Amino acid sequence: MSIVVTGATGHLGRHVVEQLLERVPAADITAVVRDEAKAAGLAGRGVRLAVADYNAPETFDGLFQAGDRVLLVSGTEFDRGRARQHQVVIDAARTAGVALLAYTSAPGTLSAALADDHRATEAALLASGLPYSLLRNGWYHENYTENLAPVLERGVVVQAAGDGRVSSASRADYAAAAVAVLTGEGHENSTYELGGDEAWSFAEYAAELSRQTGREIGYTPVPVHTLESALADAGVPGPLAAMLAGVDASIEKGELVVHTGDLSRLTGRPTTPLAEAVAAALAA
């Protein structure tokens, strides 16, 4: 039996593997990667590597074993049919007879187009008959804190979210929840709505940036189409720009506020405050 993590060199997957190494022997972990060279550090620590690609079903043949616990980290190739990609992993897991397939999904309240692939993948997973755990991850702090340069340069946060609030948490928080499910018991056929303990608005985010930088940074809400155009002008592909702007519309409607407390319960600790994530980004 192995704990298998797909997308193991991605932002979230790497956090999951690092935290698994604190809980289980490295030999019990399989990291699924597309580029073996990027995972050399993991291999050097005793993690088993498996090279596979969501776009090449044959690369998953025989990858899983009966009894494995698998984390399917959702793909990021929005233009290549993520639901189809995820189906490749689900089919391989069903053939092998894995003990659990956990999937990093999106909040059940999210109606934006970004959630469509997640809903389709959830339906496929439930139809497979596999024991499952739906990890409906909310928004990440890093979606904003990793791209602070334009905000600091212009002195303004520009979003199309109005006064909407976001229950974001750090990638490390969501990774810890996945690790709890992969290493714990009783998570079969479960759904967790995951989000940060404290929801915040973009006005509050701008105020926190101001406090920590000592500069005046404001928040300017704009229409969705304005944000979409700005993202496209910045080089974001049109369909993805529309998808991201659509998430802001969902934020304004309150669809990324999570009240369940599932994330802190799974991890056994409070979620990372936004202020801490801002401080880390500014120090980097």
Each residue's pLDDT tens digit, 213-253 = 999 999 999 999 999 999 999 898 888 899 999 999 999 99
Local structure of residue 270 (DSSP, 8 states): P
Give residue 266's pLDDT band: very low, low, confident or very high (50, 70, 90). Answer: very high
Place of tokens 């620590």: 45
H or E, element range at 191: strand 190-194
Q: What's the rounded mean pLDDT across residues 267-277?
A: 98
User: How many helices and strands in the chain, by DSSP H and E?
Assistant: 12, 11
Each residue's pLDDT tens digit, 51-65 = 999 999 999 999 999
According to DSSP, the β-strands at 156-159 and 100-105 are: unpaired
Each residue's pLDDT tens digit, 79-96 = 888 999 999 999 999 999
Q: What's the rounded mean pLDDT across residues 151-179?
A: 97
Report yes or no: 94 and 128 within 8 Å, Cβ to Cβ.
yes
Give residue 194's pLDDT band: very low, low, confident or very high (50, 70, 90). Answer: very high
Report yes or no: 74 and 103 within 8 Å, Cβ to Cβ.
yes
Biggest alpha carbon distance in the chain? 57
Give residue 130's pLDDT band: very low, low, confident or very high (50, 70, 90). Answer: very high
Report the pLDDT value the prediction gives residue 99, as an integer from 0 to 100: 98
Burial call 90-127: b when 16+ CB within 10 Å, e when fewer: bebbbebebbbbbbbbbbbbbebbbbebbebbbebbee
Report the pLDDT value the prediction gives residue 1, as an integer from 0 to 100: 74
* Distance separating the N- and C-terminal Cα atoms of the chain: 38
Report the pLDDT value the prediction gives residue 239, as an integer from 0 to 100: 87
Alpha-carbon distance 241 to 234, whole Å?
Answer: 10
